[in-house]
Amino acid sequence: ANLKTPLIGVLIGGTNKKYRFTKENAERFASLLEEAVHDSGGSLAITPSRRTGEENLQIIESALSGQPADIWDGSGENPYFGILALADSLVVTGDSVNMVSEAVATGKPVHVFQPSGGSAKFSRFHLQLEQQGKTRPFTGQIEHWEYPGTDDMTLAAEAVENAWNAHKN
């Protein structure tokens, strides 16, 4: 409630089997977030994951000190779903298919920051979302655009119907 709009929701993942969220990534990411909040005139609502790493989180917190930002400190309930619901736009690290997919499901502009690494599978996933107009690379600028939502219920119903029909035959 104390953050001014536009509210930029930030979902930070971290190192996994395919990506490395390095100190250099954290510094670059923090610099881009600082640029985004400054240029937008808004504020940041940030939730890191366990994979972000304490050193990287300290880099981000230090770079954003004095900026209108709320960074979840790990105590109490994670504001992840609240951020998805209330943010005007989202910035997500590209190391997690789940985080990016959940952000896209909101229908809000989703900017993706790519940490070091990746794989062909992740590259195809990100390329497809960009080609569909659902995500854009995070460059420090917060853009606003609209894209058609996904009717997940219809997709699920069709998958069940197809599986049922295949089973009957």
Q: What is the pLDDT of residues 129-145, one digit of tens each?
A: 999 999 999 999 999 99
Q: What is the pLDDT of residues 49-106, one digit of tens each?
A: 999 999 999 999 999 999 999 999 999 999 999 999 999 999 999 999 999 999 999 9
Return the pLDDT at 161: 84
Residue 149 pLDDT greater than 70, yes or no? no
Q: What is the pLDDT of residues 100-130, one digit of tens each?
A: 999 999 999 999 999 999 999 999 999 999 9
Spatial CA neighbour of 102 closest among 135, 130, 136: 135
Residue 36 pLDDT greater than 80, yes or no? yes
Return the pLDDT at 168: 78
User: CA geometry: angle at 92 spanning 88 and 96, to 5°?
Assistant: 140
Return the pLDDT at 139: 97
Q: For residue 159, name the pLDDT band (cuts at 50, 70, 90).
A: confident
C-alpha–C-alpha distance, residues 146 and 150, integer Å:
12
By CB neighbour count within 10 A (0-12 exposed, 13-18 middle, 19+ buried), where does 101 fall?
A: middle
Q: For residue 152, name the pLDDT band (cuts at 50, 70, 90).
A: low
Residue 48 pLDDT greater than 70, yes or no? yes
pTM for the structure as a whole = 0.87
Helix (H, G, I), strand (E, B) or coil at 93: strand
